[in-house]
Structure 1
């Protein structure tokens, strides 16, 4: 009983709400609420304040979170150790990815070396891939460069060029490439500030004193895609995230190399699983050029 109570407390404390914790644990919200109340009653203390509809950790709650984080990290290490107690790598690897390329080439090499491992792939945007890890629906993810996260182990998979994309009715749709200076003053659709792709593009434009004219700022890659398809402006995207779409034409930048990092990610508590560990070791060792991207050393 104490274990499930601590697990519910930890999930709510980490996620910030009972609703999110319910999705992570796949447990009903009333059950989680009851378990936390029972934990508080058992030790006659308050772990959360409840101003209005919000939940805030008390000082005791913050101290307990520090302990439960270590507890569940160690639990994950123990599970990984037991799973990897034999040398033969077998089982099923669930991969989440923002795009099929160059993942499929990598998986061809992986399966050639580890024929006893079956693989399933689920495509989505970076946040969906990360959520799949948190929900333990996937074991590893391949995403465009992400920010550091205390729960996520990040291994550089490679780097890919950023490309421009336009609607097929745009005046550039008959071209195969553009020069960076061609973007001067052009209407552009961008992700929100903080997007890694936006940061590297705006840095390149600033270095060359090229004016960017962001006419629309949206909160997801899918929204950028739809806005460009509808003719609102020009978009930028890493090659790994390109998806076939008859409404869209991708153009390379011929005179300037703008790159974004591709990361392989997993939950830190899952890194010791034999199949996950083997996958990440192969990511470290792979020849990026054979997969169509640049492989640079991890920083």
Structure 2
């Protein structure tokens, strides 16, 4: 009720009288008079004094007008913000991802479509990225593997083969592709527990009954890359995420199907969010465009 009374006071104060305010806001004069009177009576103050046919503000009224002017200006700003958010002219989208390759592709496409949306990205392992999504700390998750979960909606995005990379002076570097048996006894640098690339690679090794010699476990793609460059061993990577280097060679595995996947994941409860729906639509269009 007080909001309506303050609105009525503000209309009369800015219009200079009840008749003018009635015409401006399309509320009857008796209603405006009753609203302002109720405000004055509740707080025991005088907000207007009558001078002829005009109403002038008292000192209390002038101070209140300064406050209501700020109040309703903020309200107008809030409404304008919500209108822009509805039209996706402004807003913020938080995305968690297990790697930069696919998510940057998605972000570039989304930014072209909705340049007013602020984008925030946090990279981490699968466990942490999924936890952030479930805790509402992020809006979108880009994951390599996702288990069946009724809370989640998953959109498949990409599939890429996993290859082995070695130093250019390694004996395997001379081959166009290798058989998985070639990895028997090789010094292997592996990703951390929880890495979906590691899981896919180890499953293929187990299936082929190959036992490489694990020399190091590192939780960073960049650190693994440096370790291989320095001759500490060989490693594996999704071919899409391999960064060419004069001292390294990526070699496909010819007789084993090892793949990594990219899935875009959201909470089922948030499927109706306009900004999330817009992101998924951009993802689908980007996927189709790249498939051509």
Give the TM-score normalised by structure 1: 0.52
Structure 1 gaps, min length 5: 1-82, 293-299
- Measure the CA separation in 2 of the matches of 1:234 and 1:104: 27
Describe the SS at the equivalent of 1:164: strand
1:226-284: CA deviation from partner (whole Å, max 9, x where unpaired)? 66455443222224554678886543335554212211123444333211122123434
- Alignment length (residue pairs): 209
2:265 is aligned to 265
Q: Which residue of 2 aligns with 1:126?
A: 126
Q: Within 5 A, what are the aligned runs for 1:100-111?
A: 100-111=100-111
Where does 1:1-299 land on structure 2 (aligned, <5 Å)?
88-90=87-89, 91-134=91-134, 136-149=136-149, 152-167=152-167, 170-172=170-172, 177-191=177-191, 195-205=195-205, 209=208, 211-216=210-215, 218=217, 220-221=219-220, 228=228, 231-242=231-242, 249-254=249-254, 256-287=256-287, 290=290
Distance 2:122 2:232 in 1: 30
CA contact (8 A) 2:185 2:213 kept: no
CA contact (8 A) 1:183 1:210 kept: no
**CA shift for structure 1 position 133:** 3.1
Would the aligned equivalents of 2:127 and 2:194 in 1 still touch at CA under 8 Å?
A: no
- Structure showing greater relative contact order (alpha-carbon pairs closer than 8 Å, 6 or more residues apart): 1
5+ residue gaps, structure 2, are 1-81
Distance 1:112 1:189, change over 3 A: same
* CA contact 1:130–1:141 (8 Å) conserved in 2: yes
Contact residue 161 and residue 260 of structure 1 kept, 8 A: yes
SS at structure 1 position matched to 2:101: coil
Displacement of 1:145? 1.5
**Which TM-score applies when normalising by structure 2?**
0.53
Contact preservation (8 Å) 1:158, 1:288: no
CA contact (8 A) 1:97 1:143 kept: yes
Distance of aligned partners of 1:150 and 1:287 in 2 relative to their CA distance in 1, 3 Å threshold: closer
Structure 2 Cα separation of the partners of residues 120 and 247 of structure 1: 34
Residue 131 (structure 1) shift = 4.4
Q: 1:170 to 1:161 in 2, by over 3 A?
A: same
Deviations 1:85-133 (A, max 9, x none): x863342222222333233333333333334434333333334433443
| Structure number, greater radius of gyration | 2
Residues 41-98 of structure 1 deviation map (CA, whole Å, 9 limit, x = unaligned): xxxxxxxxxxxxxxxxxxxxxxxxxxxxxxxxxxxxxxxxxx89x8633422222223
CA positional deviation for 1:160: 1.5
